[in-house]
Structure 1
Amino acid sequence: MTPLLPLVAAVFLAGYVLLPLLGVPYAGPLAIVLACATLFTGRRRAGLTLAGLGLARPAPGHTALAAGLALVIGYVAAGVAVLLATQALGWPPPRPGRLAELLPGNLPALLGMLAIAWTTAAFGEELLFRGFLQPRLRTWFGGGRGAALAAVLVQALLFGLAHAYQGRTGMLVSGSIGLGFGLLYLRQRTLWPLVVAHALIDTVGLVTLFLRAPATGTL
């Protein structure tokens, strides 16, 4: 395991756990920003390029097709997870948290959350979990096919735990999407299709909440 991995993980966990205790708003996105900044700084000092994180210059045609595949994988994984959780295990649906109160009919809130969805959520989470964590775990596990699959499973588990605020079903859904995306990244070795698919999935969810406006039509 490279020294940069525990450093980035420590920065992310510190922000994720401590910032809410200090009353800092948007602690989750801020923790992702801090972790990404630590990652970029560390790699720059080591003379490493962004291509090693799956951020090589994208090919538009390939990116569009792969993003479509990732979108299908994401929705299938989420659908299976929801059915398993709610029908087989009897768990409640995912919790949207404060978004259920803030977003319905509130256009400024929607635009703000979309900005977060396309930056810290889509780009930041894919970078940290798939582009950075997954290959480092594979190396730590010894390399090879078995190590690659173990790395995919572990990053998906951690990705699900990072969405604990959505409840048990939300964690299972996020972890399932992370599993599908991890397998796709293992094959494609590029993050851009996953970033696009992640952003589109979040966008659909946010717009759906926004359209649940109060009956009075007030914002």
Structure 2
Amino acid sequence: MKAFIRFTVATIFLFVFAAQVQAAAPQWEVDPAHSGVYFSVNHIYSTTRGYFEDFTATVNFSPEDLAGSRFDFEVKVKSINTGNSKRDGHLNSGDFFDSKKYPKMTFSSTAVKHVKDNQYIVEGKMTVKDVSQSVSVPFTLLGVTTHPFDAKSEVAGFEARMTIDRLSYHVGNGKFYKMGVVGKDVDVLITMEVTRKK
């Protein structure tokens, strides 16, 4: 009887382990030289553009296994670059990101859904400063092909766009928005080139 119980427990363990192994879609490695997190926001009558130089992402994705697909991001706030060091310093200050107190922004996905053709949505929780909110981010699978420089690897491309109300994440207290200096809506563009061995 004890042998039977041990066999049953072992069998259940193997099934659970196998299910966990199969739960994740293929993992892709982000090519940082050909990926970026960009943003733009209105400043009076002009548009200020910038990007974050330091970010990491974990990507598991397969159109055939969306249940096992996920996108997780971590962005180092201090790496913000708008092409103007004085402005970057101000954005890192307590007036906006307060990067000393809140050094990173994160996104952790909870679901990936197919919309149509090569259009998808990733749902998840985004945390900026002391605020975490559920968001749905539309993205496009630009394609998957054999890497031109490595026949043993595949390369895929993704592009995501969204608009964020920075004030809802406490990035500013609204003073500069009320003055008509800095807009509250920030357009974000995320482009990624990822690779994996076949």
What TM-score does the superposition give when structure 2 sets the normalisation length? Answer: 0.30
Write 1 or 2 for the structure with the bigger share of strand. 2
Write 1 or 2 for the structure with the bigger share of helix. 1
Find the structure with the greater CA-based Rg: 2
What TM-score does the superposition give when structure 1 sets the normalisation length? Answer: 0.28
